[in-house]
């Protein structure tokens, strides 16, 4: 017996009401904030991710599903959604559109070879949105507001918004230097991975979850103390806008995000009192990425959120989601002629938009009605020899077992 590969899962019919609920909320929030949908391929050139996510990140170093296809192309299953959107933005001439260009993606499978645990999978699904071509902190506030309102619209509560600014190309190197000096003076306390990070990608040191490294991170210099004047003004305006919007935030000096393309604003939304594995969504500015990928300098900002984590939290917080609609009618029949009539009736009713389950096989009437009951279908239509002769059907209300003989043409009006 085969099983789904480790770190992947099936989204079973009983789960679908949650996924559909999230999808409806995604569609309406994106429409409300003026975003258009963009779908990109599941795989891209490996270079796109290596270059944008960054060579010293866990995603690129340890987690990418990379393969060579039969044509010898180096490809990677999408480990995130931002780089493909930027690639598409450049490839399809979108820099000529009015700015910011606002794009969203939904239900994209994302692949990362991680150690699976609750809320962390090797294939997960994301919703995300990107606003490209504007560096106004009012746009940062709008993106954060959109994320915040989205999670609230799901009915989730007790959320916390973590916020930080990690500066730009001008001020970041000075900060990184200070960070390196701090960590170098604690080198003996660091885990093996962090010793490598210290040399290769010091910002990632602040991401480490090992307890010995956390103590060093707690006393590390803060990026916000090293911002250049433009970044400082940008960050303080953003904070003012968030206050204006009454969105509560917590400054988190250790928030750097796991991907290298970020500049200035970074943020995450988490259920309060929960660890990093439960982060619902995260994002930030990536003002250099489009240029890195061959475009003109183009500031941008966005967010992505994991659907599985939303569903986990909807269940945990006992949010009631609208049930998936059940079929309206079960058609039961007895005898070959009745079966012919049932097949024709099912087809006619479906064409009139009535959802139908028709009994198949050779089961007794009792067994057929038992199926209607277990499937929680409100009405059963029964056709036997007598009904074939008289051109009628029996309509049975499964909730109270009341039934009456009716003309099949009258059914759509009787089913309600």
Binding site for ligand HAM (CB under 6 A): 80-82, 112, 114, 119-121, 124, 126, 128, 130, 258-259, 279-284, 286, 302-306, 308-309
- List helix spans (H) across 160-202: 172-184, 192-200
Q: How much helix, strand and coil, in percent to the nearest 5, is found in the chain?
A: 45, 20, 35
Query: In the bound complex, what is the minimum distance in angstroms from residue 353's beta carbon to ligand HAM?
Result: 37
Which is it for strands 393-397 and 379-383: parallel, antiparallel or unpaired?
antiparallel
Query: In the bound complex, what is the minimum distance in angstroms from residue 306's beta carbon to ligand HAM?
Result: 3
Instruction: Using DSSP, state whether 305 is helix, strand or coil.
Output: strand
Sign of the dihedral defined by the CA atoms of residues 145, 147, 152, 156, in that order: negative
Query: In the bound complex, what is the minimum distance in angstroms from residue 121's beta carbon to ligand HAM?
Result: 4
| CA dist., res. 87 & res. 48, Å (int) | 8
| Pick 46 or 354: Cβ nearer ligand HAM | 46
Query: In the bound complex, what is the minimum distance in angstroms from residue 67's beta carbon to ligand HAM?
Result: 19
| Pick 42 or 376: Cβ nearer ligand HAM | 42
Segment (H or E) for 108? strand 101-111
| Pick 119 or 167: Cβ nearer ligand HAM | 119
DSSP 220: S
Query: In the bound complex, what is the minimum distance in angstroms from residue 68's beta carbon to ligand HAM?
Result: 24
| CA dist., res. 155 & res. 206, Å (int) | 32
Query: In the bound complex, what is the minimum distance in angstroms from residue 310's beta carbon to ligand HAM?
Result: 8
Query: In the bound complex, what is the minimum distance in angstroms from residue 345's beta carbon to ligand HAM?
Result: 46
| Pick 81 or 133: Cβ nearer ligand HAM | 81
Angle CA 109–140–61, to nearest 5: 40
| Pick 309 or 333: Cβ nearer ligand HAM | 309
Query: In the bound complex, what is the minimum distance in angstroms from residue 35's beta carbon to ligand HAM?
Result: 12
| Pick 128 or 202: Cβ nearer ligand HAM | 128
Q: Is residue 52 within 8 Å of residue 87, measured between CB atoms?
A: no
| Pick 118 or 376: Cβ nearer ligand HAM | 118
| CA dist., res. 345 & res. 300, Å (int) | 56
Instruction: Using DSSP, state whether 169 is helix, strand or coil.
Output: coil
Query: In the bound complex, what is the minimum distance in angstroms from residue 77's beta carbon to ligand HAM?
Result: 13
| Pick 7 or 221: Cβ nearer ligand HAM | 7
**Nearest residue to 267 (alpha-carbon basis) of 250, 247, 245, 289:** 250
| Pick 108 or 216: Cβ nearer ligand HAM | 108
Please tell me whether the peptide bond between 100 and the residue prior to it is cis, using omega within 30 degrees of 0. yes
| Pick 8 or 236: Cβ nearer ligand HAM | 8
Query: In the bound complex, what is the minimum distance in angstroms from residue 308's beta carbon to ligand HAM?
Result: 5
Long-range pairs of 173-177 with CB within 8 A, sequence gap ≥ 24: 174/226, 175/221, 175/223, 175/226, 176/202, 176/203
Instruction: Using DSSP, state whether 177 is helix, strand or coil.
Output: helix
Query: In the bound complex, what is the minimum distance in angstroms from residue 289's beta carbon to ligand HAM?
Result: 9
**Nearest residue to 243 (alpha-carbon basis) of 344, 101, 144:** 144
| Pick 259 or 293: Cβ nearer ligand HAM | 259
Beta-strand runs (E) in 210-287: 250-251, 263-271, 281-285
Q: Is residue 250 within 8 Å of residue 162, measured between CB atoms?
A: yes
> Bridge partners of 263?
285
């Amino acid at each position: 017996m085969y099983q789904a590969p480790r770190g992947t899962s099936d989204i079973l019919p009983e789960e679908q009401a949650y996924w559909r609920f999230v999808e409806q909320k995604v569609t309406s929030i994106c429409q409300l904030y003026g975003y258009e949908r963009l779908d990109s391929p599941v795989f891209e050139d490996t270079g796109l991710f290596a270059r944008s996510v960054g060579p010293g990140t866990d995603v690129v170093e340890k987690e990418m599903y990379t393969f060579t296809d039969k044509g010898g192309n180096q490809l990677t299953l999408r480990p995130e959604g931002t780089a493909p959107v930027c690639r598409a933005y450049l490839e399809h001439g979108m820099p000529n559109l009015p700015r910011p260009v606002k794009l969203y993606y939904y239900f994209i499978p994302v692949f990362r070879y991680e150690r699976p645990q609750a809320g962390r999978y090797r294939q997960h699904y994301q919703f995300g949105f990107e606003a490209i071509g504007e560096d106004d902190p009012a746009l940062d506030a709008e993106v954060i507001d959109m994320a915040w309102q989205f999670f609230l619209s799901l009915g989730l509560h007790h959320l916390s918004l973590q916020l930080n600014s990690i500066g730009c190309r001008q001020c970041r190197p000075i900060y990184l230097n200070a960070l390196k000096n701090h960590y170098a003076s604690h080198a003996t306390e660091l885990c093996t991975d962090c010793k490598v990070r210290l040399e290769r990608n010091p910002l990632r040191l602040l991401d480490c979850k090992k307890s010995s490294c956390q103590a060093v991170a707690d006393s590390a210099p803060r990026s916000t103390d090293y911002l250049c004047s433009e970044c400082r003004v940008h960050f303080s305006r953003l904070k003012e806008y968030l206050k204006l919007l009454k969105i509560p935030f917590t400054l988190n000096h250790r928030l750097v995000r796991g991907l290298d393309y970020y500049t200035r604003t970074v943020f995450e939304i988490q259920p309060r009192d929960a660890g990093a594995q439960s982060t619902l969504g995260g994002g930030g500015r990536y003002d250099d990425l489009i240029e890195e990928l061959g475009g003109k300098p183009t500031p941008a900002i966005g967010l992505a959120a994991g659907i599985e984590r939303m569903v986990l939290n909807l269940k945990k917080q006992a949010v009631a989601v609208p049930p998936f609609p059940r079929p309206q009618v079960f058609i039961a029949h007895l005898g070959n002629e009745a079966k012919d009539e049932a097949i024709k009736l099912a087809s006619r009713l479906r064409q009139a938009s009535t959802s139908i389950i028709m009994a198949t096989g050779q089961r007794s009437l009792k067994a057929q009605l038992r199926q209607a009951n277990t499937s929680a279908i409100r009405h059963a239509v029964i056709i036997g020899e007598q009904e074939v002769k008289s051109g009628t059907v029996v309509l049975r209300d499964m909730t109270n077992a009341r039934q009456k003989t009716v003309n099949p043409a009258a059914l759509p009006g009787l089913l309600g």
